[in-house]
């Protein structure tokens, strides 16, 4: 796992946007996993600006969603497909039919989950999966207790996550109780996993994920097993890390031939 500590949230966003742009440039048919939440928004804005400046194209890419609420109508503004379109996909040249997500509107939800895992494999696997981290250490919607090898499936949100996400809805009661999320095993199949976290509120879950024990109680700790995981932080989110000085030194001294 590589931990990159940047001064401010904007710097973290720049690092993540550059990783995506540098993937897509030599690999125009890349499969990119997109996350919702506020954490990746800065990176999306920078990528949109790069696209408008003619420096990056997503025309041949396939984008895949990490998770989706169950029970919202497909056109609900907070359905994650709508969020990703509004915040990113509609502003770049990604063809709408190259944006994929789990079909939470299918009659047979369990079959739809299995289909989504098959789809990711049929696309050739995910080249780069972006992630945020929840205050309880969740990634995607894999809440504490999630099997570290889980596949795409239905999960029940914790009270804490529903409270965190209430800001996107008129009331906490409107936050769906159920979701479909890529499993921790599914996420782990991505060739490169990039987690971005900024702000002091993320310092505790980040420290547990990066330096705590590998444990289902902190689902993001599963990234410790991944052969290519990058955690991009601002100083505030890095506030709980014991080895912060080492991470800074390693990043500052990185040889120029070695990308992220
Ligand atoms: C949500 C999403 C996650 C996201 C997390 C943190 O519940 N399902 O993908 O990483 O919460 O959100 P934020 O980035 O807004 O803090």
**Nearest 5 degrees, angle CA 73-CA 79-CA 84?**
140
What residues pair up with 245 in beta bridges, in sequence order?
Answer: none
Atom of ligand 1 nearest to the CA of 141: 8
Q: How many CB atoms sit inside 10 A of residue 109's CB?
A: 16
Query: Which residue, judged by its Cα, is nearest atom 13 of ligand 1?
Result: 37
Quote the pLDDT of residue 259: 87
Q: What is the pLDDT along the chain (260 residues), one digit of tens a residue?
A: 999 999 999 999 999 999 999 999 988 999 999 999 999 999 999 999 999 999 999 999 999 999 999 999 999 999 999 999 999 999 999 999 999 999 999 999 999 999 999 999 999 999 999 999 999 999 999 999 999 999 999 999 999 999 999 999 999 899 999 999 999 999 999 999 999 999 999 999 999 999 999 999 999 999 999 999 999 999 999 999 999 999 999 999 999 888 89
> Which string of DSSP letters, residue by residue, matches 114-138?
HHHHHHHHHTT--SEEEE---TTS-
How far is ligand 1, taken at its centre, from the CA of residue 173, in Å?
A: 18
Kindly name the residue from 11, 67, 103, 117 that is annotated as catalytic: 67
Quote the pLDDT of residue 256: 85
Residue with tokens 């479909």: 180
Q: How far is CA 155 from the centre of its chain?
A: 17
Contact 36 CB / ligand 1 (< 6 Å): yes
How far is ligand 1, taken at its centre, from the CA of residue 164, in Å?
A: 9
Domain boundaries, the chain: 2-252
How far is ligand 1, taken at its centre, from the CA of residue 254, in Å?
A: 30
Please give the Cα distance from 98 to 101 (Å, whole number): 10
What residues pair up with 180 in beta bridges, in sequence order?
Answer: 68, 154
pTM of the model: 0.97
Express the helix, strand and coil content of the chain in percent, nearest 5 each: 40, 20, 45
Quote the pLDDT of residue 49: 98
Please give the Cα distance from 157 to 48 (Å, whole number): 31
Contact 176 CB / ligand 1 (< 6 Å): no
What is the CATH number that goes with domain 2-252? 3.40.50.1360
Residue 108 annotated to the active site: no
Q: Are 251 and 259 in contact (CB under 8 A)?
A: no
């Amino acid at each position: 796992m590589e931990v990159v500590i940047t001064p401010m949230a904007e710097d973290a966003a720049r690092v993540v946007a550059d990783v995506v742009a540098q993937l897509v440039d030599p690999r125009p048919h890349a499969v990119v996993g997109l996350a919702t939440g506020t954490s990746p928004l800065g990176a999306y804005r920078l990528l949109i600006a790069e696209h408008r400046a003619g420096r990056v194209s997503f025309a041949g890419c396939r984008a895949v969603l990490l998770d989706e609420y169950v029970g919202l109508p497909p056109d609900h503004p907070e359905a994650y497909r709508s969020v990703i379109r509004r915040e990113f996909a509609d502003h770049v040249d990604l063809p709408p039919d190259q944006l994929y997500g789990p079909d939470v509107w299918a009659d047979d939800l369990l079959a739809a989950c299995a289909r989504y895992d098959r789809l990711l494999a049929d696309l050739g696997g995910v080249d780069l999966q972006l992630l945020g981290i929840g205050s309880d250490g969740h990634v995607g919607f894999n809440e504490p207790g999630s099997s570290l090898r889980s596949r795409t499936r239905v999960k029940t949100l914790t009270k804490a996550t529903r409270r965190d996400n209430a800001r996107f809805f008129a009331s906490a009661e409107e936050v769906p109780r159920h979701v479909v999320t890529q499993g921790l095993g599914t996420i782990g199949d991505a060739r490169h996993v990039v987690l971005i976290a900024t702000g002091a509120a993320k310092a505790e879950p980040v420290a547990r994920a990066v330096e705590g024990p590998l444990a289902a109680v902190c689902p993001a700790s599963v990234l410790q097993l991944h052969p290519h995981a990058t955690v991009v932080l601002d100083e505030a989110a890095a506030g709980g890390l014991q080895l912060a000085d080492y991470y800074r030194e390693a990043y500052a001294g990185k040889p120029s031939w070695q990308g992220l």
